Amino acid sequence: DGDVFKYYADGEWKKSNSGKSVPIVNPTTRRTHYKVQACSQEEVNKVMEAAKAAQKLWAKTPLWKRAELLHKAAAILKEHKAPIAECLVKEIAKPAKDAVTEVIRSGDLVSYCAEEGVRILGEGKFLVSDSFPGNERTKYCLTSKIPLGVVLAIPPFNYPVNLAVSKIAPALIAGNSLVLKPPTQGAVAALHMVHCFHLAGFPKGLISCVTGKGSEIGDFLTMHPAVNCISFTGGDTGISISKKAGMIPLQMELGGKDACIVLEDADLDLVAANIIKGGFSYSGQRCTAVKVVLVMESVADSLVEKVKAKVVKLTVGPPEESCDITPVVSESSANFIEGLVMDAKQKGATFCQEYRREGNLIWPLLLDNVRPDMRIAWEEPFGPVLPVIRIGSVEEGIHHCNASNFGLQGCVFTKDINKAMLISDAMETGTVQINSAPARGPDHFPFQGFKDSGIGSQGVTNSINMMTKVKSTVINLP
């Protein structure tokens, strides 16, 4: 039936034999907006077979040709920004303006990957044996980076396009084939993005996109013997994937509880602006969102006033109108956020605004005087609710940051660069931003989480390297 979007395998759009579909509920209307195929395990097997076969030929395709195709896909992706952004608006309630930005950023990422790939994969190493004790110069070692095979990419709902291409492009330039399992919310945007790669003319079977229920094909995909690498972005599921996956490289970016440490000498207007951007853009549904403000008591009143003044100005409403705050992705997510808010209320947090919710739409909320016994001090709401903890010393702030099970990013605001560097060294997070909110981009920067926030490092260069293995050939002289 024409209502259900087809999945992509073997260079073709297909209906699943399961006869089943998965509904995609529009977070704004809370009604089914699209449907995608519920692929079966048997179909996953076929996709894996095709991916294995296509990869063998692709690995022999000249690097410059791989790059050329990626550049073509990037251009087509940018041309299709309007319809893809439209899907993002309907599937994940991303503000229309940000939805377009996501697609453009994705095109740029694909091009950058192609350029970076031809450089870093275009050179290998040459070593001689006599640098190691006891050896004469009788051995020459040549190394190069070769593909891993089949890469499985699992992006999350919050960037179904960008966090898909950030896995697809490095995999392809490095000579791998790619199987994409998009998130349910965002699956149609992802299918449309895959269509752009289809139009660019990649070989059949090299890229596939299987949709379906996690319960049916999730473990089956991640434990599939044909998979040689998994790149995953999302929540706790990543931890269970890492326990079940085989002996293959894993790249994972999971949750975060990014702290914003504010010192007494900080430029409070700059801090307030960054708290708004960092805490409330896409309604707080970013792994890198500011998720707890740790501010020195002496400047806390003043900072809270400044942030409050800006919260009032945030527009709240439908994503079609590019409102700042839009409905969160699902009812269960909204309920979870509400649970955190009620817990904070019961334990005596100061509500800087009244709590308000209509359906999945939650009004932005700043909670002051949050204490460590409140859940919101530690858990990530993935919504427009931001706790402020007042601290008596910088050490207290660092301690709170490091006591978290997460370690994605953090930020520190001060005019004293020496202090900032020392604090950065002390924070157990993959990245520390000095005088700006946490963010993954620019997309070629290394991006990694410590502790439960993930393993491996992303960013264009690191992802390309991660999706290759080193191969050596040693020439032995007589």
Burial (CB count within 10 angstroms: exposed 0-12, middle 13-18, buried 19+), residue 440: buried
d(CA 255, CA 237): 10
Rule CB under 6 A: choose which of 26, 55, 111, 158 binds ligand G3P. Answer: 158
Least distance from ligand G3P to the Cβ atom of residue 155, Å: 9
Q: Is the dihedral of CA 292, 297, 299, 303 positive or negative?
A: positive
Q: Of 21-29, 210-218, 286-294, 337-345, which segment contacts ligand G3P by CB under 6 A?
A: 286-294
CB 91 within 8 A of CB 26: yes
Q: Of 36-44, 91-99, 212-220, 282-290, which segment contacts ligand G3P by CB under 6 A?
A: 282-290
Least distance from ligand G3P to the Cβ atom of residue 409, Å: 8
CB 470 within 8 A of CB 143: yes
Token couple for 352? 């800087």
CB 102 within 8 A of CB 86: no
Question: Does 439 engage in binding with ligand G3P (CB under 6 A)?
Answer: yes
Which among 469, 441, 446, 449 is positioned nearest to 458, based on CA atoms? 446
d(CA 357, CA 378): 22
Question: Does 440 engage in binding with ligand G3P (CB under 6 A)?
Answer: yes
Least distance from ligand G3P to the Cβ atom of residue 458, Å: 8
Residue number, 241 or 299, with CB nearest to ligand G3P: 241
Which among 260, 287, 323, 401 is annotated as catalytic?
Answer: 287
What is the β-pairing status of strands 125-128 and 139-147?
A: antiparallel
Active site residue 287: yes
CB 453 within 8 A of CB 238: no
Residue number, 159 or 413, with CB nearest to ligand G3P: 159
Token couple for 156? 């999350």
Strand stretches in 181-255, DSSP E? 207-209, 229-233, 250-253
Q: Of 32-40, 284-292, 304-312, 347-355, which segment contacts ligand G3P by CB under 6 A?
A: 284-292
Residue number, 252 or 366, with CB nearest to ligand G3P: 252
Burial (CB count within 10 angstroms: exposed 0-12, middle 13-18, buried 19+), residue 357: middle
Residue number, 19 or 441, with CB nearest to ligand G3P: 441
Tell me the residue nearest to ligand G3P as measured from the CB: 287
d(CA 52, CA 209): 15
Question: Does 81 engage in binding with ligand G3P (CB under 6 A)?
Answer: no
Which among 116, 253, 379, 380 is annotated as catalytic?
Answer: 253
For residue 337, which phi and psi values (nearest 5 degrees)?
Answer: -60, -45
Q: Of 75-83, 331-339, 364-372, 433-441, which segment contacts ligand G3P by CB under 6 A?
A: 433-441
Sequence-ordered alpha helix ranges (H) in 283-364: 297-311, 331-346
Least distance from ligand G3P to the Cβ atom of residue 234, Å: 9
Q: State which amino acid sits at residue 151.
A: V
Q: Of 209-217, 285-293, 347-355, 368-376, which segment contacts ligand G3P by CB under 6 A?
A: 285-293
Question: Does 286 engage in binding with ligand G3P (CB under 6 A)?
Answer: yes
Rule CB under 6 A: choose which of 111, 184, 251, 288 binds ligand G3P. Answer: 288
Least distance from ligand G3P to the Cβ atom of residue 269, Å: 22
d(CA 205, CA 220): 19
Question: Does 453 engage in binding with ligand G3P (CB under 6 A)?
Answer: no
Q: Of 167-175, 197-205, 317-325, 437-445, which segment contacts ligand G3P by CB under 6 A?
A: 437-445
d(CA 6, CA 410): 41
Count of residues that interact with ligand G3P, criterion CB under 6 A: 8
Residue number, 299 or 362, with CB nearest to ligand G3P: 362
Rule CB under 6 A: choose which of 298, 441, 473, 474 binds ligand G3P. Answer: 441
Residue number, 189 or 287, with CB nearest to ligand G3P: 287
| 163-197 per-residue burial string, b: 16 or more CB within 10 A, e: under 16 | bbbbbbbbbbbbbbbbbbbbbbbbbbbbbbbbbbb
Name the site residues for ligand G3P (rule: CB under 6 A). Answer: 158-159, 286-288, 439-441
> Which amino acids are annotated catalytic?
253, 287
